[in-house]
Amino acid sequence: MAKCEHSVNKMSSHSLKTGSSIPQVQGTNDNSTLSKVSTSRVGYYKDPYLKYFTGCHKSPNRAPLIHWGYWIRYSAVNKTLIEFLTNLGNKDNQVISLGAGFDTAFFRLKSECGNVDLLKKCHYYEVDYPSVVARKQHFIDSVPKIKELAIGSNYDLIGCDITKLKDLEASLKGANVDGDTSTLLIAEVVLTYIQPKYVDKLLEWAASFFGKAVICVYEQIKPFDGFGQVMLKHFHTLSSPLLNIEMYSTSQSQCKRYENAGWSEVNSCDMNQLYFSLPEEIRKHVMSLEPFDEYEEWHLKCSHYHMITGFTSPQYWSSIMDPLSSSSNNDDEGISDVLEEWRALYLHTESQHLKRYGHDSVRFEDDKVLVYGGFGIKDHSLAHCRLDNAIMIKSNGEDWESKELIAGNDGPGPLMYHSMTLLPKSNEVILIGGRKSPKHSNEVLYSLSSCGTECNWRIIQYKGDCFKGRWRHSTTLVNDRWLVIIGGCAVNGHVFSDILLLDSIDWTMKKLPVSLPEGRHSHLAVNYKSSVLIFGGLNADLSPVSTCLQLSEDKSHLMAVEFIPQLPAKYSMSGHIISNDVLLMFGGVSISQHQSDIVIVNMQNRTWQGVNLKYPPTISLPLLHGHSSHLMDDGNVVCIGGGGNCFSFGTHLNESPLLIQCSKF
């Protein structure tokens, strides 16, 4: 092992000009290492060496969503690395990790019995700032079993600023890097911190210097939607802004960039595509490791990260490696026109109570809306928690007034992803299901009545078939009497396919003889001419569903409703019948790279159209999931709450209710 070739110098003016603040970017390496240690410790992958690169820091336990995010990153890069080493096992080859940080892939591969021969013909190089390399060298020297793995001629640490191309080339040549040897270049969330012009020069240099190379780059895309804005703000707050993402915001523009720099057969794969390309047994293993209920944020995170690959001398690689192929899961939503943008306005409210997601709400005839549960802000402390308060809101001109109702007795407590249904004849609100945590579902049915500033809870003593606790189900009122309960999910990842019928007069529950063709949750169900339409949802494989089903008026059979083109595959949306045969589907999450904010569905001619929303420029973009919405008397739609836990970027709660001006449609 060669020692780092450059001493630890003070930052040059060149380094300060080429990208984000260097100490802060290096800090992301330290935080990333701690997250990787936590992910490995739970069992997402095996890496016994990461813990030695945390210094004196005790690795905290990260949230499941962060574990999933680092696992998919590991899977993406490791898949290409293993394929490269396997297919070139008998030929001299070299791996160069740019901005390697404290990555431990070399030590992991060298120590795994099944992979001993993979590095037999490989020379492994890691390049990073001299200060990072010096720290890594110190950690290696401090742990005998790692130092022993590093001893030999096939591992080198190189301390160099990768934007200084003359120094980089000299350092690589000094370490015996050969431009004619088969080479894999890896950059994991590195280039995005460097000014675009320096990245372009680096890509051009690499394409010309290496005659037979594969490049593999993992980084962020899609900065212009709600999740993307949260992501940008997070890195800006850390003083390590993403400098390339706005200029090259999509996979397509990234591919074109690499082609212009001299790379061939350029392809990209977002992490949703990669997830569904992994063997089913691996995906099931990951789902079994710990309770997980952050599906929307998982799919959004995966759609905002991609891996791009490109080749020099593609004819050489054609028989050795396949480029990452796009998956049908990432196809366009369909061939449908997008209407002109509709205006979305933020409704003013002084209350923090409406900053929540995973709640539900009901609308009364006088346009009052009752909200209960979810996750968000309970009081002026601004602390985030699961909520157990009932909030009544009503429009007062341009403002929305809200007040917390005083509970006269004990209710269900903090709940998320329950359903609430108003019985118009009695003004009772029926609360069904929900979860107290991913390990604890609510199996009790409640009735809520409100009067003035008070509300009272009553446990419903029903008879008939037993209700199994669930959340993310739907409850639809038909003929002002029947509550149709469809699907949902439960503890241990079980997804329901059953359909239950609850009579609100004699409180009899029965399981219908028909069921969904596959379990689904987080779908949309609406009353349509005394039948129930079921749109979208998420199945047990975490794949969004595009099918529309119709439960007949007599509740005896389900019919598939075909659309041309096929409906978008999405879930976690809300929806309303806005005229006899027209439904408005608002928000939701899709794994398509192309999706609209609203889908207008015409049930008469079985077509649909997409609509995008235009927001006031001074307000942060909302996340269009985890909300509830209502069709108001004036024909407009009001969206309440919404948001989620955005990977490691923190929890985002939509600022205020949103008014969608669709009354002229």
Q: Look at residue 577 and give its three-state secondary structure.
A: strand
Judge if 348 and 206 occupy the same domain. no
Quote the pLDDT of residue 319: 78
User: Are residues 639 and 655 in contact, defined by beta-carbon separation less than 8 angstroms?
Assistant: no
pLDDT digits (tens, 9 = 90+) for 559-611: 999 998 999 999 999 999 998 899 999 999 999 877 899 999 999 999 999 99
Quote the pLDDT of residue 15: 45
Quote the pLDDT of residue 366: 86
**Residue position matching structure tokens 């308060």:** 389
Quote the pLDDT of residue 9: 34
Rounded mean pLDDT for each run of 10 residues along the chain, 665 residues in total? 42 48 70 95 96 83 97 97 91 97 95 76 97 96 95 92 98 98 98 98 99 98 96 94 97 97 96 97 97 97 97 88 54 53 84 93 93 91 90 82 90 97 97 96 97 94 95 98 98 95 98 98 98 98 97 96 95 95 96 89 95 85 96 92 94 92 69
Quote the pLDDT of residue 359: 98
Evaluate whether residue 665 is within a structural domain: no
By C-alpha distance, which of 645, 608, 601 is closest to 623?
645
Evaluate whether residue 335 is within a structural domain: no
Evaluate whether residue 165 is within a structural domain: yes
Q: What is the DSSP letter of 476?
A: E
Of the residues 267, 286, 321, the one at which a domain ends: 321
The CATH number given to whatever domain includes residue 569 is 2.120.10.80
Of the residues 289, 321, 353, the one at which a domain ends: 321
By C-alpha distance, which of 226, 171, 219 is closest to 193?
219
- The DSSP H or E segment spanning 256 is helix 251-260
By C-alpha distance, which of 443, 441, 542 is closest to 492?
441
The CATH number given to whatever domain includes residue 249 is 3.40.50.150
Q: Report how far residue 432's alpha carbon sits from residue 414's, in angstroms, rounded to the nearest whole number.
A: 13
End-to-end CA distance of the chain: 69
Q: Look at residue 481 and give its three-state secondary structure.
A: coil
Q: What is the DSSP letter of 497?
A: -
Judge if 317 and 368 occupy the same domain. no
**Residue position matching structure tokens 């899977």:** 75
Judge if 627 and 524 occupy the same domain. yes
Task: Provide DSSP, 202-230.
Answer: HHHHHHHH-SSEEEEEEEE---SSHHHHH
Q: How many C-beta neighbours within 10 Å does residue 463 have?
A: 10
- Residues 6 or more apart whose CB falls under 8 angstroms from that of 61 comprise 38, 41
Q: Which two tokens stand for residue 296?
A: 């929307």
Judge if 291 and 365 occupy the same domain. no
Q: How many domains does the chain have?
A: 2
Three-state secondary structure readout of 515-541: ECCCCCECCEEEEECCEEEEECCECCC
Judge if 231 and 355 occupy the same domain. no
Please calculate the CA angle 70-73-75 and round it to the nearest 5 degrees: 110
Tell me the longest C-alpha to C-alpha distance in the chain. Answer: 84
Evaluate whether residue 2 is within a structural domain: no
Judge if 51 and 90 occupy the same domain. yes
Q: Packing angle between helix 295-303 and helix 226-237, nearest 10 degrees?
A: 80
Evaluate whether residue 8 is within a structural domain: no
Q: Name the E strands within 405-488.
A: 406-407, 419-423, 428-432, 435-437, 440-441, 446-451, 454-459, 463-464, 474-478, 482-486
Judge if 388 and 310 occupy the same domain. no
Judge if 309 and 453 occupy the same domain. no
Of the residues 292, 321, 350, the one at which a domain ends: 321
Judge if 346 and 308 occupy the same domain. no
Q: Report how far residue 372's alpha carbon sits from residue 361's, in angstroms, rounded to the nearest whole number.
A: 6
In Å, what is the CA distance from 380 to each residue of 355, 371, 373? Answer: 12, 18, 17
Evaluate whether residue 17 is within a structural domain: no
CA dihedral (201, 206, 209, 214) in degrees, to 10, reads -160
Judge if 575 and 521 occupy the same domain. yes
Q: What is the DSSP letter of 262?
A: T
Judge if 442 and 509 occupy the same domain. yes
**Residue position matching structure tokens 């209700």:** 467
Judge if 598 and 520 occupy the same domain. yes
Q: Which domain holds residue 300?
A: 23-321
pLDDT digits (tens, 9 = 90+) for 219-240: 999 999 999 999 999 999 999 9
By C-alpha distance, which of 330, 336, 328 is closest to 565?
336
**Residue position matching structure tokens 């297919």:** 87
- The DSSP H or E segment spanning 84 is helix 64-87
Please calculate the CA angle 272-472-622 and round it to the nearest 5 degrees: 60
Q: Report how far residue 219's alpha carbon sits from residue 307's, in angstroms, rounded to the nearest whole number.
A: 7
**How many helices (DSSP H) and strands (DSSP E) are in the chain?**
14, 41
Evaluate whether residue 377 is within a structural domain: yes
Evaluate whether residue 330 is within a structural domain: no
